[in-house]
Structures are given as structure tokens and as C-alpha cells.
Structure 1
Amino acid sequence: MSHLPSSSVRDHMKWAGLLGCEAVLSSMALMQASTMAAPPKKMIAPLGHAPPQREGPDRAPQSHMILPSGMSCPPLLIRKEGEFQAPRLLDEKEMRANEDMQQKKKNRKSVTPCKVREQEGRGGKGTDENGPSSKVQKNFICDHCYGAFRSGYHLKRHILIHTGEKPYACAICDMRFIQRYHLERHSLIHTGVKPYACTMCDMRFIQRYQLERHSLTHTGVKPYACTMCDKRFFQRYHLARHSLTHMGVKPYACTMCDMKFFQRYHLARHSLTHTGVKPYACTMCDKRFFQRYHLARHSLTHMGVKPFACTMCDMRFVQRYHLARHSLTHTGVKPYACTMCDKRFFQRYHLARHSLTHMGVKPYACTMCDMRFVQRYHLARHSLTHTGVKPYACSMCDMRFIQRNHLERHSLTHTGEKPFACDMCDMRFIQRYHLERHKRVHSGEKPYQCERCQQNFSRTDRLLRHRRLCQGRSVAKVENQPCCEPRPYAQEPPPAPPTWSPLHPPPGRLAV
């Protein structure tokens, strides 16, 4: 290595000081300054990139500063707060380490499916017909993570990630951002502008990636697949959230009870049950709801819209689960079975209500008498007997009824319809219990018994008539004689005795 003239070093240091290079230049830069008249030697490019080619004999690379004397100065590394430092040229070992790190960073960058398809459509990234395309030289190295950048502005912006500084503040809210375009994108939230429109529907979005993600719903492509089941998802965070169900992890715990949840909004929704706050109010009535979809479902009742139709009959329903529950009536399937008897039910709450009959629990008590009931609507129906209100009126006469089924049963007397037919004879009846009472004629069953004489009857009205005969007389007479002794005459009264006259003497006597 040849000794450098002291005058060249002094000149170089003078221009370095004028340009703001406070650090001492490296020995390689001094050698370059001393041998500027000689043919330029090939320098080792940082990060394995080829140095840019000179277009003319008088044009220097854009990444170097040209000194007045023709000397070239290495690019300056911009530091935060105006601290500058001249970069050092890396040796081969450090360059290989930086290349590996940069390659890992590129591999870690997430690429959306849309970008992958764009790259595949272009035939790959970074290739042309002559081979790999030339890359921009990145001479600005970050001392924190050894990231390389093509300009000082990019490096300075990158350093803000390490310092945590966010110079761009929103004027409407407290949000702050590292980059200006992040602030501009955020400002669209306050203005309501959505510049990215879907070409297949009327949806609009604030950010482009939101539009790309939405486009997958039209194509049906779900790029994120679960490795433990066959489910696929449009978004990555949907896959991450679904994976918790396989692991059984519920990271969001309620602070007021032992409930845990997979998703944060499930926890936020559950917390409203402790506070009693119902943020969603109906605009047509006074009802309020914990969840938005409960309000949307309730609003259909005001509009009369029933979007869910049964395919086997004309019934329509406001909610989907009402339709699913109704469909069981056509199939005859009763999925809810009682564990204490053989009864089965279409709905779960019917089973829960039935279970109270085995336990003897009657949770609904009347406030005006001692009656208690298993079901709430039984209590509401019973309360009408105290108030005397009969809300169900017959449209063909003046009769009114406490219960709807009483009105329906009464309406059959006007139409003459008898829907309940006996399967052993031709008799038909208006009410079901009339049919059940009639069937005892065929079976001979007499389930009703008198408490005094132990006589059995097939009908309650006959038992009541018998009790009036049995208990209407004095107790002593009833005890001395059997209450049901044979009558001295048949159903028809005996003939009246003949009148007495001299022409008709009584039997055994002769006329005088």
C-alpha cells in the first residue's frame, strides 16, 4: 500500500468538513482520493449489488458526491437529530451476513394472494428476457438492523421505527403516524371518502388492500387453509382466530365472572350483560338490545318482513332458527328427550319446562291467591280470572273468552264442524276431550269414583249428578239404606189406580 501525500489528505479532509462529514474518512477513501488520476479500480459493492454503470466519461454515479477536485466521497449515512457518520465499506464476510439478513427480511414480507397472482401474471418478479433485471443500489445502511435503503430519505424514515417517533399527527383525533401517506389515508376516515370501489358490487373502501380482500368474496377463493381441518378462510386473522378452537385456548376472560371467550368482541358483548347497558335502540318502539343483529332482527317485526320461508308449507318466519325449529314438525323428529320419562320434544325449552313437572317445582306464583304454575303463560292466563277480562270475542255472537283456544273451540259450534272422529264408530265431536270421553263407552273404563259408596262412573257429569242424589238426603237415611237401591218402578211411572164406585167394587168384595 502506497503512502498518501499529506496535501491530498488535507484537501480531502477540508472538502469533507465543508460537506458535513464530521467523521474521519476511511483509509480506502483516502486511497481513492490519492489515485484519482489512475484508471478506476473496481470497488466491492455493498450487499452484493453491482455498481451502477457510468453513461459517459464525465458522469459519476448518482450515489456519490463529486468533489471540486474530482475526488469522490462515499455516500453519507443520515442519522437522527442531525448526527452524520460516514459509512464504512464492508468486507466480504460482513457483506455475506448482510445479504443473508436482507434475504430473510424479503422472505418474511407477507405477500397477498392478489400480489402473487400479479407476479405470476407478469411472469415473475425481477426477470427479463436477458436475465435478472438490474436492481437499484442500496448504499444507506441502518446501524440498528442493518437494513439497506436506496436513499437517505428512506433511511431517515426507517430510523423512526427504532426511535418510536411519529412526526405526523392527525388534527381531528390523537392518532400519530410515521409517514405522511399513512396520515393522509387515516384522514379519509374522518371525511368519509372511500376512493376504492368494487367493480362487481356497490361496496367502496378506504384502502386498496381492503378492496383486494373483498374481491375474494366474489371469486370464492379462500387462500388461508387450516392445517387441522378442512376449513378455509378469506383473511389470515380469521384463520388465526379459528386455530384457537382446536387448541381450546380462550384468551379473553371476563373480570366479573368466570366466562372466557375466543374473540375480543365476544367479551365486549358479554360485558354488557353485567352493566345492563343496551346500546342498540329501536326507533319504532321503546325496546333496546345488547347486540346489533338483535335490533336488526327485531326491526323485521315492524316491517312485517318474514324472509325465511318453509319449503313444505306456506309458513314464513322472521328468524332462521324459527324456520329450522318449524321444519322438525314436518319430519316428526323430536331431538330433545326427557331422562325421567319417554316424552320427547321439538324444542329445548319445551323439555326444560316439562322437567319441572317431575321436580314438582312451580316457579310462577299468583299475587292474588295461592295458585302456582309451571309456566309463565299459565300464570298470565290465570290472572285474567281475577280481573274478569275476556280479551277473545266471538265474531258471530256476543260470547267472550279468557283463552284463545276456548274461542276457537266455540267457533266450531257456528260452523258445525266436528274435526274429532271416533275410530270405532261413526260419531264425531267438536272437542277432543269429548272424543276421549266417548271412547270410554267402547272400552268400559270408569275412572271416576264416588267417595261415599265407591261407585264408579265413566264421566264427570254423571259423578256430579250422583253426588247430588247421594248427599242431598239426610246422612242417617243414606247410611241405613244403600245409596243406590233398586227403584220400585221402571223408568215410566205406574198407572193410576181406578176410581171407586158402587158399580166397580174393590177386588175381593161383592156389590150389594
Structure 2
Amino acid sequence: MSHLPSSSVRDHMKWAGLLGCEAVLSSMALMQASSMAGPPKKMMAPLGHGPPQREGPDRGPQSHMILPSGMSCPPLLIRKDGDFQAPRLLDEKDMRANEDMQMKKKNRKSGTPCKVREQDGRGGKGPGGDENGPASKVQKNFICDHCYGAFRSGYHLKRHILIHTGVKPYACTMCDMRFIQRYQLERHSLTHTGVKPYACTMCDKRFFQRYHLARHSLTHMGVKPYACTMCDMRFFQRYHLARHSVIHSGVKPYACTMCDKRFFQRYHLARHSLTHMGVKPYACTMCDMRFVHRYHLTRHSLTHSGMRPCTQAISQRFCAIPEGGVKPYACTMCDKRFFQRYHLARHSITHMGVKPYACTMCDKRFFQRYHLARHSRTHMGVKPYACTMCDKRFFQRYHLARHSLTHMGVKPYACTMCEKRFFQRHHLARHSLTHMGVKPYACTMCDKRFFQRQHLARHSLTHMGVKPYACTMCDKRFFQRQHLARHSLTHMGVKPYACTMCDKRFFQRQHLARHSLTHMGVKPYACTMCDMRFFQRYHLARHSVIHSGVKPYACTMCDKRFFQRYHLARHSVTHMGVKPYACTICDMRFAQRYHLTRHSLTHSGVKPYACSMCDMRFIQRNHLERHSLTHTGMRSFTVPTQPREKPFACDMCDMRFIQRYHLERHKRVHSGEKPYQCERCQQNFSRTDRLLRHRRLCQGRGVAKVENQPCCDPRPYSQEPPPAPPTWSPLHPPPGRLAV
């Protein structure tokens, strides 16, 4: 056979390969594959007269076989199906199908394995093409057994296989992190050095990685290239879109292993896991507080910059903060501004009146989700926040923090118009209304107005007649809870409020404060119609009724009316015949307590009321007042310079009397009534003094009397009024007395 030039041989072999001499090439591939040692994935060594080329550390495996004159054959692939190795050739159709299949994998790194990079052949030769032909494709003939991804070199394939095996050969010398590729390690090392080599040209931000800078640049341009196909939202980054798409599917793929919660995103799960471990990795550099999340720390840092009270610790909850804090988020419907965007979004709902969060156990609705969660605890009865200094527990954390101030005695909120201080801000705001005189809460059923909403709500119960708070030990019911709590002390007999100046104790604090005025002698409540003053306001209100002449309390069993309710209650006992107050020394009983107190003085012999004009003393004040009329003809509190008068006149004659009971006794003379009877002789008398005088005579005789026979002759009583007594004066003394 004649030898042909090398160019002719090359042309013939080229055409032979293009004509599809697969049988010859396949047999050659099988022969060489059987003699090769190594993984079944290696490509066949080059065919030719020279020694076979070996793979070196700097040289990757060849992507195709080299024919003797430099021609190349189609790539070979040895696939592993089970335990059987079946090498075969990849024809053009298989390669195209492989490329189409690999195009669907969009999230692969190191380039999508099936992508084909075209090189422009305008400036020179392309690999595998001539200088006049078009640009050829760089074929990716190294196939991954795990995912069937195709790569253009063995180095890329080996690097890709590390993803499946989990081997990370590159370790950081400053922390425990490991990486698959060297450039990932180099990129990570920048985080330890603090160097951010990539700077934004439109702002002052810098980044560790170039793609972070590219991603950030989109925020300046306002371009959101990634659009959701199920809603109108768009995103700056692809992974933001992928993360958002999970919300439409409703699937929460990340489950907590310690509780039943599930999350849409992995970092949400990682963030939640810290709450179980109790780890707070983010510490504030200006106080001792620590936080589970970084954004909590960022939000807290705003409090140090002068935007709201600092919440460092319970003992230092209210710190002095300089002015000048910036609230960058402004409401367009009012003048409020906020530190955070979501605070603004949450506030905007209040203008729309929408309460999207509804309680499933009652009809209440809430603007915010955490308000609903907080409200749900009231149905369960769980109070998770316990005070370490007492036994109280609370539904909410800020209730506990607010309560802790009462143990420390700190009142951080001071009124600028008076010296009062308060534990809570809303107490201060509520107090400020008293200085302005504004009562913003008006009752719709009457004209009363109130400073506080709860006062209005409490007042409304009086119109409805509902007393929701019932005592468990008696039948009483109350409008307010504190009234019930105050009443319960009466059943226990505990009087917690003691007077420091005497031994008295009281059930209520206001009773003690009211009692203290009696020690100081101060009567702050003065009557505007007379000179009387009172210790208590209700005493003044009760006294004012006397000037009006109205007796609003009427007895239902008789026609009597009274100025005060307790006078009516005291009078009602007389109709029932009940005398609940018994004397401990004798058998007498009384309808009223003060009657018993007055009676007790008769046993002790004490007469506390002394006449200022003579030496007589009396057990009761009204006895003294009645006696004073004998000196002045007037009551003790009238002006003594006025003429003497007898205010009680008889309507049947011209006689007048100093006392009312004297007038009543005189009227029996006109009527002939004799209500007093002697027990021995049944003789009747109109006056008790005459009955007593008769009894001494009747008992002194000591003889038995016949029935219906008087024991003595009754003396006729003249119907004429007795003569007036002579006027006494030092110049004309009565008989038997000497002139002075």
C-alpha cells in the first residue's frame, strides 16, 4: 500500500470519523478499557504509536481520544448501571439530550454543567476549528455519576464531586469552618481581617464579596428583576423570590425538633432554636442587655441614640437620654414618626380601623398579632411572668417590669406642674388632665364627665343597675371590684390601717386619713350658708340638706321624712320593734347605739355636759340645751343679748313654754286626757309627776283598798292657768330669801 501524505491520511481519518465508524472505534475502546486500571469513569488513553500519556497533577484527563494523526473521535462514557460496567460512545443525539436535561438545573455552581460556551472565532482560530470556519462549541464531556452533570475538565468534575461526598478540604485557620473550594476559603478569610474590598460608588457601604456589591447596586437603581408569578411582588435577589414562593405553597419545610413549630425559611428555624438554648449571642456595647436576634440589638441601639427610654435592666430601666433622636419613618395621615418601618405599617392600620386578628374564644379583635397572643393567655389563665420578690404573677412581661418598680420605690415619671411622681407614664398622663380641667369622657345617660375611661365605665353600671361583683360570704353585691375587696375585710375582721396617734384601726385607708384630721383639728369643709365646718365632705353635703329644707328620705310605714338615709334606717327599727343594742349592766335594750351609749352614762355616774352659767351637769347634751333655756330663754348657740322668749305657744290659750314637751303636757289640760294610771287604785293622772306623788301617798297608808275605791281624795285641778311667778331681781327677792 502506497503511503499517502500526512494531510491525506488526516483527511481520510476525519471523514471516517464523520461517517460514523462506530464499530471500529467501539472495539478499540473496549480493548483499551479492559487493559486500563482506574475508576470506570476515566477516559481512554490516546491511541497511537507513542507511549500512553499519564495524568499528572497539573494535567487533567483528556476529554477525547487522539487518533494517530491528531484526529479526534467522539467522546466516550462509561456509565455504571448497578455492578455492571458498560462503556459506550455518546453520539451527537445523546449529547444534545444530555445538554437539554442539564439546562433545567439552574441553581448549580461552577457554571451550569450543561451550558455550552461559544467562542467567537472572528479574531483567530477556535479550538477544534479552522481559521476560516465558524466558532465551535467547547464540549463538556466529563459526566457526574450522582447528578449526571457535564463538565469541561476533570478538575471541575473532581471539585463538583466534593459537593456529593461532603468533603471540605480547605479549613480556616482562625475558626472551625471548612470549604469545598479554595476561593471560598479566601473569601471567608476577609471576614476575620475585617477588610471589605468592594465599595459602593453611590453610598458608603462596603462588602466582602463582589456579588454582594452587585446585589446591593440594584437597590440604588430600584430594579427588582425577579417577579413572582403568583402575585405582584418583585425582588432584588433570586433567593428572595424562591423564599417568597414557599409562602404560596403553604409548606413550612423546616420543623423545630424541640417543639411543634415549623418555619418557611431555614434561618427562621435557626433563630428560633436559640430560644430553646437560652443563648443570646448579640450583646449591647452600651449596657448589659443581650439579645437572641441581631435586629433586636439594632432596634435596642436606637434607645441609646436618644429615641426612647432605655430598657437596660429593671433597676436602671429609665436612663437619661440626650435629645435629638431621629425617627425616619413618618406617618402620612398624622404627625407621628417611628424608629422602624414595621412600626409605621402597624400604626397605619389604626387609621383604617381594621383589626385583622380575631380571638377564637370571644368577640375581641386586635390590630397586632402579639396583642392577640397576649389576650389568649387570659382565656387559658396562665400567668408566665412571676415576680421574684413576691408571689404575684402576670400575663405580660411589661406588667412584671412595671410591678417591680413598686418594690424598688422608684417613681420615674414626675409631674411638671406639681410635685407628684408616678410609677407609670399613663398614670402621669392621666394626672395631667386634672391640671387642665379637661374631662374627656362624657356619660351618654347623664351630664357627668370623667377624667378617665374606666371611671366612665364604672359609672355606667349605676345606670344599668348591674352589680357584677358578689360577696361569697353574704348576699351583698358591688359595682366595683375594689368595693368587694374592701367589703371582704369586714368578714375577716382584719383592720390593716392603724392610726399612729391612737389605738384605732380601720378597714380602709381613706378612713384612716379621715380620722387623722380629728387629731389635727382641721375641718377643711366649710358651709357657705353658715359658719359650720366639717371634717369630711359628705358631712358637709349632708348638712347642706338642712338649709334647703328638703327631706328626701320618707318612711314607707308612716308619714315621717328625714334629711339623711341613716336617720330613716334608724327610724325603721322602731316599726319592727327590734332593739338590737342591749345594756350589759341591766336588762334594758335600745333601738339605736347612741341610745345605749347615752344610757351607759347613768351606770357610770359620769355627767360630761356642764352648764356654763351654774354648777349643774347633765348626762346628755340635749338635757344641757334644755336647761340652758331656763337661763336665757333661748338655745345655747343663740345670741344671749336677745330678749327672753318661749318659742312653744298653746293654740287654745295664751300660754307659752320653753320646751316642747311642756307644751304637750299642757295640752292634756284642755283635752282632759289622763294617760298615767296608778297600779293599786287605778286612778288616772295627766302628768307623771302627779302620779309619782300619788304613789308615795298610796303606798304610805299600808292598808288594803277596795277595788275601784281611790286611796286618797283626788285634788281638783283648776282649769285656769296658774298665776305667773313673780319676777326675781336682786332688789325684790322671793319670800324666804335675803336681798343681796
Q: TM-score, normalised by structure 1?
A: 0.41
Instruction: Report how far residue 220 of structure 1 moved.
Output: 52
Instruction: Report how far residue 366 of structure 1 moved.
Output: 1.5
Instruction: Report how far residue 341 of structure 1 moved.
Output: 2.4
Contact 2:494 2:507 in 1 (8 A): yes
Deviations 1:196-248 (A, max 9, x none): 99999999999999999999999999999999999999999999999999999
Instruction: Report how far residue 313 of structure 1 moved.
Output: 2.3
1:275/1:428 Cα in 2 relative to 1: closer, same or farther (>3 Å)? same
Deviations 1:22-71 (A, max 9, x none): 99999999999999999999999999999999999999999999999999
Q: What SS is found at the alignment partner of 1:48?
A: coil
* d(CA) in 2 for partners of 1:432, 1:8: 160
Q: What SS is found at the alignment partner of 1:269?
A: helix
Contact 1:78 1:152 in 2 (8 A): no
Task: Please name the residue that 1:396 is paired with.
Answer: 613
* d(CA) in 1 for partners of 2:502, 2:131: 70
Contact 2:106 2:112 in 1 (8 A): no
Task: Please name the residue that 2:498 is paired with.
Answer: 281
Which stretch shifts more, 292-301 or 462-471? 462-471
1:141/1:430 Cα in 2 relative to 1: closer, same or farther (>3 Å)? farther
Which stretch shifts more, 318-327 or 277-286? 277-286
* d(CA) in 2 for partners of 1:239, 1:404: 85
Instruction: Report how far residue 463 of structure 1 moved.
Output: 3.1
Which stretch shifts more, 136-145 or 374-383? 136-145
Instruction: Report how far residue 450 of structure 1 moved.
Output: 4.0
Q: What SS is found at the alignment partner of 1:86?
A: strand
Contact 1:36 1:70 in 2 (8 A): no
Size of the alignment, in residue pairs? 512
Instruction: Report how far residue 284 of structure 1 moved.
Output: 3.2
Task: Please name the residue that 1:412 is paired with.
Answer: 629
Task: Please name the residue that 2:104 is paired with.
Answer: 104
1:6/1:186 Cα in 2 relative to 1: closer, same or farther (>3 Å)? same
Deviations 1:168-203 (A, max 9, x none): 999999999999999999999999999999999999
Instruction: Report how far residue 322 of structure 1 moved.
Output: 1.4
Deviations 1:350-370 (A, max 9, x none): 222222222222111111221
Percent identity between matched residues is 92
Q: What SS is found at the alignment partner of 2:106?
A: helix
Deviations 1:315-334 (A, max 9, x none): 22222221222222223322
Contact 1:78 1:156 in 2 (8 A): no
Residue segments in structure 1 that go unaligned for 5+ positions in a row: none
Which stretch shifts more, 241-250 or 364-373? 241-250
Q: What SS is found at the alignment partner of 1:185?
A: helix
* d(CA) in 2 for partners of 1:34, 1:106: 37
* d(CA) in 2 for partners of 1:211, 1:319: 77
Contact 1:453 1:483 in 2 (8 A): yes
* d(CA) in 2 for partners of 1:107, 1:380: 99
Q: TM-score, normalised by structure 2?
A: 0.29
Contact 1:216 1:222 in 2 (8 A): no
Note the aligned Cα RMSD (angstroms): 23.2
Q: What SS is found at the alignment partner of 2:607?
A: coil
Instruction: Report how far residue 464 of structure 1 moved.
Output: 3.4
Which stretch shifts more, 318-327 or 481-490? 481-490
Q: What SS is found at the alignment partner of 2:44?
A: coil
Task: Please name the residue that 2:151 is paired with.
Answer: 149
* d(CA) in 2 for partners of 1:263, 1:125: 97
Which stretch shifts more, 483-492 or 216-225? 216-225
Contact 2:681 2:707 in 1 (8 A): no
Contact 1:46 1:95 in 2 (8 A): no
Instruction: Report how far residue 150 of structure 1 moved.
Output: 44
Which stretch shifts more, 167-176 or 124-133? 124-133
Task: Please name the residue that 1:440 is paired with.
Answer: 668
1:209/1:84 Cα in 2 relative to 1: closer, same or farther (>3 Å)? farther
Which stretch shifts more, 162-171 or 435-444? 162-171
Instruction: Report how far residue 377 of structure 1 moved.
Output: 1.6
Instruction: Report how far residue 376 of structure 1 moved.
Output: 1.4
Which stretch shifts more, 269-278 or 242-251? 242-251
1:40/1:291 Cα in 2 relative to 1: closer, same or farther (>3 Å)? farther
Task: Please name the residue that 2:718 is paired with.
Answer: 490
* d(CA) in 2 for partners of 1:150, 1:290: 93
1:302/1:39 Cα in 2 relative to 1: closer, same or farther (>3 Å)? farther
Contact 1:49 1:137 in 2 (8 A): no
Residue segments in structure 2 that go unaligned for 5+ positions in a row: 221-248, 292-478, 634-644
Contact 1:260 1:267 in 2 (8 A): no
* d(CA) in 2 for partners of 1:115, 1:303: 100
Q: What SS is found at the alignment partner of 2:23?
A: coil
Which stretch shifts more, 320-329 or 145-154? 145-154
Deviations 1:382-441 (A, max 9, x none): 222222222222233332222222222222323356443334433232322112111222
* d(CA) in 1 for partners of 2:72, 2:484: 63
* d(CA) in 2 for partners of 1:295, 1:488: 63
Higher relative contact order (CA 8 A, sep 6+): 1
Contact 2:656 2:663 in 1 (8 A): yes
